Amino acid sequence: MNFALGLLSESGNVISRLQGYETAAEQVADKDYWSSVGIISLTGILVVFLILAILIFFFWLLGMLFKTIDKKRAAKKAAAVEAKPVAPAAVAVTAEAEEEFDDEEEIVAVISAAVAAFAEADGTSYRIRSIEKRGDSRSRSAWNLAGINGNMQKF
């Protein structure tokens, strides 16, 4: 199933005739030269697109398949968790809230330590008034950026 050759089957004879000439000048002089050059370029880029489009379709399909498998697995897990006897919902909520609070305190401590270390000067003290998350939800944190930059150095 040589598709590329199939597309060119009509002009195939012309191209082999052109190839038969010894020099480029003779090739150019042939009346079918420019049409063959056009056909080669056009089919060339089309075949490249076609093959990669087939690959896109294949891997898109595969991706969908894996997404559904993952969802099913996640659903199964969720079902299993639900089936277990759990503590009353109200308790869970407070526990979660507490955890969040703990988390925040920790973050505040880390940030203030970082600020102090960075802007170290004798005899000054700092008070942190507010800590805000940067608006753009897609952007990475400074630590993340620094990490990625570090990893990219080697390239």
Partner 1 sequence: MEIFTSTFKGLIDTSGFMGLGITNIIMLLLSFVLFYLAIVKQYEPLLMLPIAFGMMLTNLPLTGLYHPELWNPATNPYYAPEYIEQGANILVNFTKETSLDYGRVLHEGGLLDMLYLGVKLQIYPPLIFLGIGSMTDFGPLIANPKSFLLGAAAQGGIFFTFLGACVLNLTGIAPFTLKEAASIAIIGGADGPTAIYLTSKLAPQLLGSIAVAAYSYMALVPVIQPPIMKLLTTKNERMVKMGQLREVSKIEKVVFPIAVTIIVSLIVPSAAPLVGILMFGNLMKESGVCDRLVKTAQNELMNIITIFLGITVGATAVADNFLSFKTLFIIALGLIAFCIGTACGVLLGKLMYIISGKKINPLIGSAGVSAVPMAARVSQKVGQKDNPSNFLLMHAMGPNVAGVIGSAVAAGVLLSVLG
User: Contact residues for partner 1 (CB under 8 A)?
Assistant: 1-5, 8, 15, 18-19, 21, 23-25, 27-28, 33-34, 36-38, 40-45, 47-56, 58-60, 62-63, 66, 136, 138-140, 145, 148, 152, 155
The distance of closest approach from Cβ of residue 155 to partner 1 in the complex, given in angstroms and rounded to an integer, is 6
Nearer to partner 1, 84 or 138 (CB): 138
CA distance 116 to 119: 5
CA distance 148 to 24: 52
The distance of closest approach from Cβ of residue 98 to partner 1 in the complex, given in angstroms and rounded to an integer, is 30
Show the DSSP H helices in 30-88 as ranges: 33-83
Cβ burial of 152 (10 Å; 0-12, 13-18, 19+) is exposed
Provide the terminal-to-terminal Cα distance of the chain, rounded to the nearest Å. Answer: 41
The distance of closest approach from Cβ of residue 37 to partner 1 in the complex, given in angstroms and rounded to an integer, is 5
The distance of closest approach from Cβ of residue 21 to partner 1 in the complex, given in angstroms and rounded to an integer, is 8
